[in-house]
């Protein structure tokens, strides 16, 4: 599945200027890491975010979210945010910030 190039540029702009961010191609998409830990990514037109598992469970009640499951096996703490949930700049900023803040709490790899 092709990565939405406009979404990728929006995420890169959100992450610009932050220390310790790296980008890698993964799972047919692109992923962004904080000190070696994946924080967020893009799969098609959706944003992947990694949150504390309890926070991710609560976030599923928010509009335009679903469990991250592209292989038939879901992963705790990982969500997909649908395009409608990223339409406004502040919506994308909020999700990226939450993912980066969680990844920053993990031990560096």
Q: Give per-residue pLDDT as tens, 29-60.
A: 999 999 999 999 999 999 999 999 999 999 99
CATH number at residue 18: 3.90.1150.30
Number of domains in the chain: 1
In a domain, 78, yes or no: yes
In a domain, 51, yes or no: yes
Q: Is the pLDDT of residue 68 over 80?
A: yes
In a domain, 109, yes or no: no
Q: Three-state secondary structure along 8-74? A: HHHHHHHHCCCCCEEEEEECCEEEEEECCEEEEEEECCEEEEECCHHHHHHHCCCCCEEECCCCCCC
Model's pTM, two decimal places? 0.93
What would the mean pLDDT of 72-91 be, rounded to a whole number?
Answer: 93
């Amino acid at each position: 599945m092709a990565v939405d190039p406009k979404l990728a540029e929006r995420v890169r702009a959100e992450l610009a200027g932050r220390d310790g961010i790296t980008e890698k191609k993964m799972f047919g998409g692109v992923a962004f890491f904080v000190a070696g830990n994946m924080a967020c990514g893009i799969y098609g037109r959706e944003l992947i975010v990694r949150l504390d598992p309890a926070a991710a469970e609560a976030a599923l009640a928010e509009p335009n979210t679903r469990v991250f499951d592209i292989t038939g096996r879901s992963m705790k703490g990982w969500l997909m945010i649908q395009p409608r949930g990223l339409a406004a700049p502040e919506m994308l900023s909020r999700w990226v910030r939450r993912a980066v803040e969680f990844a920053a709490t993990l031990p560096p790899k």
